[in-house]
Amino acid sequence: MEQANEPLWVVVGATASGKTELAIELCERHNGEIISADSVQVYRYFDIGSGKPSGADLARAPQHLIDVIEPSEPMDAARFADLAEVAIAEIRARGKRPIVCGGTFLWVRALIHGLVPAPPADPQLRARHQARALEVGRAGLHQDLARVDAEAAQRLAPNDFVRVSRALEVFELTGVRMSEWQAAHGFKRVRHVARLLGVQREKADLDQRILARCQGMLRAGWVAEAEQLLARGFGSTRPFAAVGYKQVALALQAGKAPNLAELELLIYRATRIFARRQRTWLRDQPIEWLPPGSTKL
């Protein structure tokens, strides 16, 4: 049984690096259960393209926070942290060890350090920002932000609509500047002492695995899955913006049967770019890097 103050194990790594396999092995050896930190696998129905664990995987180790959200339901890093908090407590209450595993690193950070105590997204405000940006351009919206929060505006690129809108939203909702919240917060608080375990892999090796995974998913019927999801009206939900689903939706939109070879290439490239961003995120973190297949722990 896990000691009360033992660190929370967190398995990280790029997409297709083999995080899940490592996490499952750790579960088997250390009486653990997995908490998935994955911003696509949380959604129901988006199965093939998000790489959800197989039945065999689930038989080896329970996984939480997969299939817990409807595609149209609002979901964000803070909500993930809350859900994960509950799951961790439950797992520990059962005398087992929670092991967080996933590639959505903002969510992991939110769990470990918490976020600025600002309110969640306000769809009306965001819609207004969209309209405003259409009218005066993204640079115009950025100027709006500069008028109320010069510091935040200075840090953000005028084109970074998502963050500009959020900073504006936070001020409009609370009267407090985003830059003030962030300065006060600074990810200083530690909600969980974490032990970060990373799956180390050569880039060429990872690229190969990414390609193989894309091919496998397409062969497993990804296009048909996406077609059904579109038919059910999920076309404009969050997970359809995810790597791969976006490309498949685009190909289907084009009308005729998608060119699978071309689609495979597009998804492979988008996934590599994603993996690169993940690498950047993890770069300077205090991670214990383990070679794939390591059984050290």
Q: Which stretch binds RNA (CB under 7 A): 19-27, 83-91, 142-150, 241-249?
A: 241-249
Site for RNA in 257-296 (CB under 7 A): 269-270, 272-274, 276-281, 283-284
CA distance 253 to 235: 10
- CB count within 10 Å of CB 55 equals 6
- Residues that bind RNA (rule: CB under 7 A) add up to a total of 64
Site for RNA in 95-134 (CB under 7 A): 103-107, 110, 115-121, 126, 129
Tell me whether strands 97-101 and 32-36 are parallel, antiparallel or unpaired: parallel
In whole angstroms, the minimum distance from the beta carbon of 267 to RNA comes to 9
- The single-letter DSSP state of residue 46 is -
Candidates 22, 27, 65, 78; binder of RNA (CB under 7 A) is: 78
In whole angstroms, the minimum distance from the beta carbon of 212 to RNA comes to 15
Give yes or no for a contact between 64 and 32, defined as CB atoms under 8 angstroms apart.
no
Give exposure, 256-287, as e/b (b: 16+ Cβ within 10 Å).
Answer: eebeeeebbebbbebbbebbeebeebbeeeeb
Q: Does 218 bind RNA (CB under 7 A)?
A: no
- The single-letter DSSP state of residue 43 is B
Q: Binding residues for RNA, per CB under 7 A?
A: 15, 38-41, 49-51, 75-79, 103-107, 110, 115-121, 126, 129, 157, 159-163, 165-166, 170, 178, 181-183, 185-187, 203, 238, 241-244, 246, 269-270, 272-274, 276-281, 283-284
